[in-house]
Structure 1
Amino acid sequence: MKIELVTTLKRQATKILADLHSSKEPVLITEHGKPSAYLLDVEDYEQMQKRMCILEGIARGEKAVFQGQVYAESEAEEKMSKWLR
């Protein structure tokens, strides 16, 4: 991972963004020696968001199973048939 100072970002934003797009490597921006933000390529960010949605859905499903909130196969088929029309 690349690390840049916020002052460098201010002065060389175009170059840093060009490097980011070509390398696809995230850039950690620091302020006063401490991490402040990450710069990510748009495609990488969107893919990360999709992964998070999938993981959150799996976690909700696991929680429902543990709480006994499940459907019989016939009920599930009925509900799914409405969605798949």
Structure 2
Amino acid sequence: MRVELVTTLKRQATKILADLHISKEPVLITEHGQPSAYLVDVDDYEFMQQRMAILEGVARGEQAIKNGNTFSNQDAKDKMSKWLK
């Protein structure tokens, strides 16, 4: 992963962004030697957001199973029948 100082970002933003779009490699921005932010390509960010939404759904499903909040296949079909017609 590429690491850049915030001052370098201020001076060379156009070049850093152009390199980011070509390489698709995230850029870690540091301030005073500490991590401050990541720059990521827009398409990669949107892909990560979609993946997170899927994983959150899976986690909610796992929690529902753990808590016993589930329906049998037939019960689910009965509840969904008005939308499945």
TM-score higher than 0.5 here? Answer: yes
Deviations 1:43-71 (A, max 9, x none): 00011111111111111001101111111
Give the letter aligned to residue 33 of structure 1. Answer: G
Normalised by the size of structure 1, how large is the TM-score? 0.92
For structure 2, the residue ranges without an aligned partner over 5 or more in a row are none
Would you say 1:12 and 2:12 are equivalent positions? yes
Go from structure 1 to structure 2 and tell me whether the alpha carbon gap of 1:83 and 1:16 turns closer, same or farther (over 3 Å shift): farther
Would you say 1:44 and 2:44 are equivalent positions? yes
Query: What pairs with 1:15-30 in structure 2 (closer than 5 Å)?
Result: 15-30=15-30
The root-mean-square deviation of aligned C-alpha atoms, in Å, is 1.4
SS across alignment from 2:68: coil
Normalised by the size of structure 2, how large is the TM-score? 0.92
For structure 1, the residue ranges without an aligned partner over 5 or more in a row are none
Q: What is the aligned length?
A: 85
